[in-house]
Amino acid sequence: MARYFNDVASYQSALVSFYRTLKAHGSRGVVVKTSQGGYGGTPYVNQRGQAQVKAAKTVGLKVALYHYGTFNSTRYGTGDPATEAHLMANTAKAWGCGKDTIMVLDAEDPSLRTQVSADAALFYTALRRYGFHNFDIYFPASWYWAGRIKIGTSFKLGGWPASYGSASSGVSGAKSWQYTDDWQGLHVDGSLDYGGQYTGATKYAKKKPNPKLTKDNVDDYYYTYNPKRIIVKETIYQHKNNQLGSKASRGRKLVAGTAVDIARLHFSGDSVPVPYFELANGTYITANRYFVKNAYYELPNLKAIEVVKSTYLYRDLKRTKVVKRVHKPTNRWPKGTPFDVTKVIHVDGTWVLKLANGFYCTAYKKYVKKTK
């Protein structure tokens, strides 16, 4: 299943709260601009970039990097792409990004030569000399159609085309697609990841509740934000303190199906901060996805639902004006009623569904279930 990711530059925030908001809306990765131009010309480095990388990793988003290319070997010689690769490599290293980081060439500037792929090969070859080995290319879809860009190649480029206002990228074989410059109304580019390289589309653990955690995979196993309300999947215990592995701190048992409200999210550990939840009564429970699940639908890929417990529809987003059901004994919509969904909205710390009929309803899984 495709997952959402975003790309950011110096005009986006470096605050952790911004990346937590992206994640709450369904994003699972961020591509941060490192640089533009190269040595010998007019090198530019994103001064917010290092803080953006740190903030994105703090909330569990997978991080990739991109360089805005302005090289042209036909004008400035075959060493020109290499100078820009050198700048990107040095910036990535200075920011503490590993050699396995995805390094993306942003190929859209008018100064690039007509056959961009030839210069791109020189760029990637130089990055290899600096130890990097995961590459991709971002480009306007029209450049691919015109033959200026190639994907695949010996550098295994998945291809990240940009095409707005269309049903797809229009680039056969592309592994991702940037489709908007105002994702979820947050003034940031939005893309879909079909291949998993930008979002680390690892399935959540089902048989391994205690995996080997890293900063890059902790989100695949734990909630790294406060979902406000969860439903227990496997029996767990409330604990008197944050020593969740201690039997001595155990309190009330919570069986599968129990729903509880989350007051706060905390982290323990140093090298890899492990999330856990605090409840309103001052006790603590695990935030491990193996044991608990979000009680609300929150991802924007929800298209249709069915009522599983009779519920109201509302005329307003705040859900204060109930939709009247004329000539019906109740204003509740019965179990089994289907609705198409146009948007999943995060409001007042929870999630609300906007339906195709223009009304609103809860996203709480106790009352509705996803059908598409």
Q: How do residues 17-30 score in pLDDT, each as one tens digit?
A: 999 999 999 999 99
pLDDT of the residue at 220:
72
What pLDDT sits at residue 211? 66
Taking the domain 3-193, which CATH number applies?
3.20.20.80
Tell me the mean pLDDT in the region 115-121: 95
Rounded to 5 degrees, φ, ψ at 141 are -55, -30
Domains 3-193 and 218-294 share a fold: no
136, 158 in Cβ contact below 8 A? yes
Average pLDDT value for residue range 332-357: 90
- Asked if residues 198 and 64 have their Cβ atoms less than 8 Å apart, the reply is yes
Whether the per-residue pLDDT at 7 is higher than 60: the answer is yes
Question: What confidence score (pLDDT) does residue 201 get?
Answer: 47
Which of the four pLDDT bands, split at 50, 70 and 90, describes residue 210?
low
Q: What does the pLDDT read at residue 299?
A: 75
Express as a percent the part of the chain with pLDDT over 70: 96
Q: How confident is the model at residue 164 (pLDDT cuts 50, 70, 90)?
A: very high
The region of weakest confidence among 60-69, 157-166, 178-187, 245-254 is 245-254
Inter-axis angle of helices 49-58 and 16-24, nearest 10: 50
Domain boundaries, the chain: 3-193, 218-294, 304-370
Confidence of residue 200 (pLDDT cuts 50, 70, 90): confident
Give Cα separations from 88 to 3, 17, 37, 75, 95 (angstroms).
26, 27, 9, 21, 11
- Choose among 33, 41, 144: nearest CA to 95: 33
Among residues 131, 79, 76, the alpha carbon closest in space to that of 103 is found at 131
pLDDT exceeds cutoff 90 at 284? yes
Residue partners of 264: CB distance under 8 A and separation at least 6: 226, 277, 278
The number of C-alpha atoms within 13 Å of 286 and in the hemisphere containing its C-beta is 22
State pTM to two decimals. 0.58
- Report whether pLDDT(100) > 50: yes
CATH placement of domain 218-294: 2.30.30
Q: What angle do CA 213, 158, 193 make, to 5 degrees?
A: 55
